[in-house]
Amino acid sequence: MDKGKVNTAASEMGATGALQKVPRTAARRLENKIYLTFGIGCFHFASLRPTSEINRETYFNDLKEYLLSDKLVTKFEAVIDDNTTIYAEEKPGLITENISDSEIFYPYIDNCLVRFEIHIPKRIQKEYMLSWREPTTSENFLVEIDYAEDVPVAYVWLDADETSPSTAVSILWKHFKNSNPESKTIRFQMVGPSPFHTDFVVKRTKMDRLDISLKESRGYDGMTIVIPERIRTENIKELIRYRFTEEFSLFYEASIDSIRFHESFSSISEKIDKIIDSESFLNKIRRILIGGDPEVYDISIEIEKVMISLERLLANYKEKISYIEKSFGEIINKNKIDERISDVGSVPIERYLNIISILRDRHTSSRANYTVIISAVVGAVAALIATKLF
């Protein structure tokens, strides 16, 4: 889990370079038998306790009680060690099922793996699905939530014969959304509603190197991960998490940031529309007397702050991408990650700044024009009064 710790499965593979993709010419020698399948999501179980009541023991006891109170959950385990930490210095003002609604993860968990098993019969699955979708082949899901990076990544492991493992991710979040809503200590959160748009298949091979191939499509992509037989069975999931968690975490981090940024600018847009709609005569007189429009300046400052925050985020993404590429030679899911990062930066900042500039110029010009007019009127009135008096 810890970046500074030598991963057991990774050690079996040898050097880090052994985790890179092999040439396509080796694909013909790969085994065709599927070992297991999995889907990817972003799940978190937020605490509803005040900060003064949260510590590592309390949180994991609450989580265990919450999950095992669900009759479909059969096993629970929190894999923690001395490096596992829980941060809960400030409670978000809003904790909903959508992670993006909260300012932070509460609590923020570092270096931990939450694991549980859940049995969801097909008859229950159908309640969560559209009529044209089929339930999963398997009714038993193994869920692992990896807290190795800034944003947690949920791995949903299924049997080898599963044809649509991503469907299991959708079923799970719909189930937990409705499970134990009266809990006073824990609330389920996720990023979605869709899972990561790739179905993952794991195979075994007699070759010595890990092979990863991606087949893109209009719907869900398909990724095949072929693992050497010399990797012990109990280490396969660990190896896959080691190779992919950083990529998936970055993808969901950018997904959350994109939602928040677009919501922030939606709010700014509403404020600007309100200013434009309030261009009444009385407001114009008020600007003349006060000198400018405080709301316009406030929005300008607000946009500048968002721009600074965006620059920091993009620099952070760049640093993480560089780290992953240095560690593994390439980013397998780079197209999807790039799309999410582009979404973050797609907010039309320059257009908003231009609108603010136009409003400033208009208000400045209006004030100058009205000042001239009022001065002329006052002068004329003064002259008239002087004529009457003298």
- Per residue in 196-243, pLDDT (tens digit) is 899 999 999 888 888 999 998 888 899 999 999 889 999 999 999 999
In the DSSP assignment, the letter for residue 119 is E
Measured between alpha carbons, how far is 70 from 92 in angstroms, rounded to an integer?
A: 26
pLDDT of residue 377: 41
pLDDT of residue 6: 42
Query: Does the structure show a pLDDT above 90 at 316?
Result: yes
Provide the percentage of residues in the chain whose pLDDT is more than 90.
49
CB 164 within 8 A of CB 187: no
Q: Tokens 């013909």 map to which residue?
A: 28
Query: Does the structure show a pLDDT above 90 at 146?
Result: yes
pLDDT of residue 91: 93
Model confidence band, residue 38 (pLDDT cutoffs 50, 70, 90): very high
Q: Which residues pair with 114 in a beta bridge?
A: 78, 145
CB 273 within 8 A of CB 174: no
pLDDT of residue 210: 86
Over range 244-261, report the average pLDDT: 92
Measured between alpha carbons, how far is 138 from 158 in angstroms, rounded to an integer?
A: 7
Query: Does the structure show a pLDDT above 80 at 291?
Result: no
Measured between alpha carbons, how far is 340 from 253 in angstroms, rounded to an integer?
A: 9
Model confidence band, residue 371 (pLDDT cutoffs 50, 70, 90): very low
Measured between alpha carbons, how far is 209 from 52 in angstroms, rounded to an integer?
A: 49
Task: Describe the chain by its helix, strand, coil percentages, rounded to 5.
Answer: 50, 20, 30
pLDDT of residue 88: 93
Helical pair 236-277 and 349-389, crossing angle rounded to 10 deg:
20
Average pLDDT of the chain? 81
Over range 158-162, report the average pLDDT: 92
Say which residues have a Cβ less than 8 Å from residue 44's Cβ, sequence separation at least 6. Answer: 99, 105, 145, 152, 188, 189, 190
Over range 354-361, report the average pLDDT: 66
Per-domain residue ranges of the chain: 31-196, 256-389
pLDDT of residue 181: 81
Model confidence band, residue 152 (pLDDT cutoffs 50, 70, 90): very high
pLDDT of residue 344: 84
pLDDT of residue 20: 44
Model confidence band, residue 261 (pLDDT cutoffs 50, 70, 90): confident
Measured CA to CA in angstroms, residue 112 lies from 15, 40, 58, 153, 214 at distances of: 24, 17, 15, 11, 29
* Choice between 320 and 308, residue whose per-residue pLDDT is larger: 320
Which of 58-67, 128-137, 278-287, 298-307 has the weakest average pLDDT?
A: 278-287
Query: Does the structure show a pLDDT above 60 at 7?
Result: no
pLDDT of residue 300: 74
State pLDDT tens for residues 53-79.
Answer: 999 999 999 999 999 999 999 999 999
pLDDT of residue 74: 93
pLDDT of residue 83: 92
Helical pair 236-277 and 294-328, crossing angle rounded to 10 deg:
160
Tokens coding 161: 């014969």
* Choice between 356 and 176, residue whose per-residue pLDDT is larger: 176
Say which residues have a Cβ less than 8 Å from residue 131's Cβ, sequence separation at least 6. Answer: none
pLDDT of residue 360: 62
The candidate with the shortest Cα–Cα distance to 42, out of 346, 340, 367, is: 340
Which of 109-118, 230-239, 331-340, 348-357 has the weakest average pLDDT?
A: 348-357
Over range 152-157, report the average pLDDT: 97
State pLDDT tens for residues 262-284.
Answer: 887 777 777 777 766 665 545 55
